[in-house]
A and B are shown apart, each in its own frame.
Chain A
Amino acid sequence: MGENLRKYNEVFMNIFGAAESELNESFTFESVHKWDSLAHMALISRLEDIFDVMFETEDVLHYGSYLNGIKILERYGVDMKA
């Protein structure tokens, strides 16, 4: 696992209290009870700080899953394999 993916997972584990084994395609806004509006904004804010990016409005509003988030970060130039 690359360093960036490790940092990414840590954010999810801290915000949602999730185990790393839970972080997969099923980890979505709809399926995770703790993923409410407050958690969503805390997640976005934390990811921006850690990866030094600033998401566009559409990406903030549609950052709906663990996997989609990886794709979004890669669009902002974050190498998730690094």
Chain B
Amino acid sequence: MPYFNFSDIAIRGISVAVPKQVVDIKSYIPKFGEENVYKFMAFTGIEKTHVTREEQTASDLGFEAADRLLREKNIDRASVGALIFVTQSPDYKRPATSFVLQHRLGLSQDCAVFDVNLGCSGFVCAFQTACSMMSSSDMKMALVIVAETSSKAMWPNDKSSAMLFGDCGAAVLIERSENAPQIKGGIWSDGDRYRAIIIPAGGARDNSAPHEPFVGRDECEHMPYYQIMNGADVFQFSISDVPKAAKAFFDKTGAAASDYDLFAIHQANWYIVKQLINKLKLAKEKVHRSLDRYGNTGGMSIPLTLCDALGGVQDSSLMHVFMMGFGIGLSWGIVDAFISPDAVLPVLETDAYYKDGIIDYTDI
């Protein structure tokens, strides 16, 4: 395990934005049948999701979260030395969407900007990347934006995935802060299981697959240009590799589950979260649940859970928070940090999108 330990860095603020459009999972009854929908709800704990309209992209959600964060925290945008944008739903095939966000947010040219292609582990991995950059540079602040429109990557007739995911954008600002409590983290990866969650067609490897649905081994309808998940493999990974990593992390840091005030665990589905609670012997009341109202929002589910739990709470004390993300790659990671509820903004709902982003090709 690459183990990280950062000093003199603090979380200045966290903000998330979700689309205004709410989908009630029961609205899928005509498509998938009452029996399937209620089974899904019982197992996953998901009752509602927020999904984008056609014109709204992941970067729009990320922008709204970040722009509000910078405004409300009165941040001098010239002091942001890095912007890392995590998404698998970029605005364009090229350039990286982080450059569009740099432009929209008014960040200076003295800013390192790049995209990271990760899903559910994206927040914890990019957060540690940003902290690493801060530790080895003179930058004052770094901004991590994580955003996804997963609902658009799911084949609407795939009953295993269509109801599962919600859309969201999140922004986390870190800053140099003398004597801040240490931030610790770890990252794990397994390329041997790259096929476990995949969109097999539409990239450079296979751009000529038929646009025809097929029934997979899981008896669900899929399309090669939409996400296909091997549920059994991902399930096994989530309740085996992930708790094993957490135990290794506790061994390395000498921490115990009882040391933490709050657990923000990736909201894959509630059954998996319950398994993790049990295997890691976590206090249930410290594990916040957001997926009932937002679904599985991928890498954003950790900041979303924090904003749902702490947003608007007027409290400047520091909470010891354990964050754990896991998913596509396969990739998983942990961040152990201290967060002041004052730094966390309430969840924002928005339908805003970037009209100037729709480009007149003849005018380039």
Contacts and interface: CB of A to CB of B under 8 A. Distances in A.
Interface string B197-236: 0000000000000000000001110000000000110011
A61 B232 contact: yes
Contact of A42 (B39, B231, B236): B39
A54 B160 contact: no
A15 B39 CA distance: 8
Interface in A25-76: 36-39, 41-42, 44-46, 54, 57, 60-61
A42 B220 contact: no
A50 to B, nearest CB: 12
B240 A37 contact: no
B40 interface: yes
Given A57-B240, A60-B235, A37 B219 contact: yes
Interface residues of A, number: 15
Interface of A: 15, 17, 36-39, 41-42, 44-46, 54, 57, 60-61
A11 B236 CA distance: 24
A60 to B, nearest CB: 7
A4 to B, nearest CB: 21
Contacts of B160: 37-38
B271 interface: yes
A39 B239 CA distance: 19
12 contacts: A37-B219, A37-B232, A38-B40, A38-B160, A42-B39, A44-B271, A45-B271, A57-B235, A57-B240, A60-B239, A61-B232, A61-B236
Given A36-B218, A54-B278, A61-B232, A41 B239 contact: no
